[in-house]
Structures are given as structure tokens and as C-alpha cells.
């Protein structure tokens, strides 16, 4: 029976210079991460590329010392892989390679449901990510942002509803956007479709 070492211990050991700890981490999560990536891209070569890119980002983050154990290591790695999968779909639009020499184009008639599913996957993930980001904001900034973006209220209406001046409402919106950008950069989150 093989002894399973906790991810946090392996991460700490790697950050302290034990290269074998990284090998153990990769081997420990290889199957789960590869299966996750393949289930999305359905291509072995792309899966291997994304897997390698994922661990390159992991290594860079760990070497910089900017990894902080907020949750599970594998959840963080899966998140990086997910962002790279989205990048993969953006780069490879999966457009059909068909040249029509007549007026009729078959691709004008049929749709690409797989592409639509990918777009939905990306949009749903962006919506979830944005929801999590908004939850991290201070309450006053969160309220202004929700009223402006989701309720389509003017800053005058927001000021009246919150009992502050228009300038204060504008300032809170500005700080909300600045704080979201900081969180996005800190966690390397992709919020574009």
C-alpha cells in the first residue's frame, strides 16, 4: 500500500527546493487532470499541451512564492487548466475548413452545436466567476455594482436608493471595478468570451 502525502506538504517541500515533491504532485493528480482536460477538448495532443501548460503555470507560481493555500491544491490546478481550456477554444475557433466555389454554402444552413455548447460552457463559467468576484467586494461597492450592472439603474437612482451623493455612488463603482481587476490579476482569472 502506497502512502499518500498531503498536497500541502508536497507543495511546501517543493517550494523549499525538493524537486521530487513536484513529481509526486504531478503523478498524484495526472489521471484526474488529464481526464478533466480531455473531457473538454476531446483531443489527446491538445490535452497534453494544456496539461503541460497548466503545470508550467503551477511551477512559475510556486517558484515566485505567490501560491497561498486558500483551498485545495488540486482545485487551484483544475482552475488553471480550465482557464487554459477556455484560451484553447478562443485560439482555435473550430471553424469548418470548407471552401465553397458556388453560391450555396452548407455551413450557412447547418449549425455547429458543439461550438455553441463550448460558448455556453465559457459563458456559464464567466458568470459564475463574476458572481464569486462580486461576493468578495465590500458591501457598499457590491450594492452599487449590482444596481448598475444587473438592475440597469442610473447613478442618480443608485444615489437615491442608497442615500449617498452621485459622486459617492460613482466612486464606489470605480473602486468596485478596481478591486475586481485586482482579484482577477491575483488569481489569474480569464473573464472574456
Can you give the residue range of the structural domain that contains 23?
Answer: 1-93
Residue at which a domain ends, from 61, 93, 125: 93
- Domain with residue 160: its CATH number is 1.10.10.10
Question: 81 in a domain, yes or no?
Answer: yes
137 CB burial (10 A radius; 0-12, 13-18, 19+): buried
Q: How many domains does the chain have?
A: 2
- pLDDT band at residue 118 using 50, 70 and 90 as cut-offs: low
Tell me the C-alpha distance between 12 and 9, whole Å.
Answer: 5
Do 7 and 54 lie in one domain? The reply is: yes
Instruction: Answer whether residue 110 shows pLDDT above 60.
Output: no
Tell me the C-alpha distance between 114 and 116, whole Å.
Answer: 5
**Residue position matching grid coordinates 515533491:** 21
Q: pTM of this prediction?
A: 0.49
Q: What is the per-residue pLDDT across 35-59, written as a single tens digit (0 to 9) for each? A: 999 988 888 999 999 999 998 988 8
Residue at which a domain ends, from 33, 60, 93: 93
Q: What is the per-residue pLDDT across 166-187, written as a single tens digit (0 to 9) for each? A: 888 888 888 988 888 887 777 7
Residue at which a domain ends, from 63, 93, 123: 93
Ordered DSSP codes for 147-181: IIIIS---HHHHHHHHTS-HHHHHHHHHHHHHHHH
Do 4 and 80 lie in one domain? The reply is: yes
Do 71 and 143 lie in one domain? The reply is: no
Do 40 and 124 lie in one domain? The reply is: no
Do 2 and 41 lie in one domain? The reply is: yes
Question: 100 in a domain, yes or no?
Answer: no
Do 1 and 89 lie in one domain? The reply is: yes
Tell me the C-alpha distance between 70 and 82, whole Å.
Answer: 18
Do 130 and 88 lie in one domain? The reply is: no
Do 148 and 88 lie in one domain? The reply is: no
Do 135 and 72 lie in one domain? The reply is: no
Amino acid at each position: 500500500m502506497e502512502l499518500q502525502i498531503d498536497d500541502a506538504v508536497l507543495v511546501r517541500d517543493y517550494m523549499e527546493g525538493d524537486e521530487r515533491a513536484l513529481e509526486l504532485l504531478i503523478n498524484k493528480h495526472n489521471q484526474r487532470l488529464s481526464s478533466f482536460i480531455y473531457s473538454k477538448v476531446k483531443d489527446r495532443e491538445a490535452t497534453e499541451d494544456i496539461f503541460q501548460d497548466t503545470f508550467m503555470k503551477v511551477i512559475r507560481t510556486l517558484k515566485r512564492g505567490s501560491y497561498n493555500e486558500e483551498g485545495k491544491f488540486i482545485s487551484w490546478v483544475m482552475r488553471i487548466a480550465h482557464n487554459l481550456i477556455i484560451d484553447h477554444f478562443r485560439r482555435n475557433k473550430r471553424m469548418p475548413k470548407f471552401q465553397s466555389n458556388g453560391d450555396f454554402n452548407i455551413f450557412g444552413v447547418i449549425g455547429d452545436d458543439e461550438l455553441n455548447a463550448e460558448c455556453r460552457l465559457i459563458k456559464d463559467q464567466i458568470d459564475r466567476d463574476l458572481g464569486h468576484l462580486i461576493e468578495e467586494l465590500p458591501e457598499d461597492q457590491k450594492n452599487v455594482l449590482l444596481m448598475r450592472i444587473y438592475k440597469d439603474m442610473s447613478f442618480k437612482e443608485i444615489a437615491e436608493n442608497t442615500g449617498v451623493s452621485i459622486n459617492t455612488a460613482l466612486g464606489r463603482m470605480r473602486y468596485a471595478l478596481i478591486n475586481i481587476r485586482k482579484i482577477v490579476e491575483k488569481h489569474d482569472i480569464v473573464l472574456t468570451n
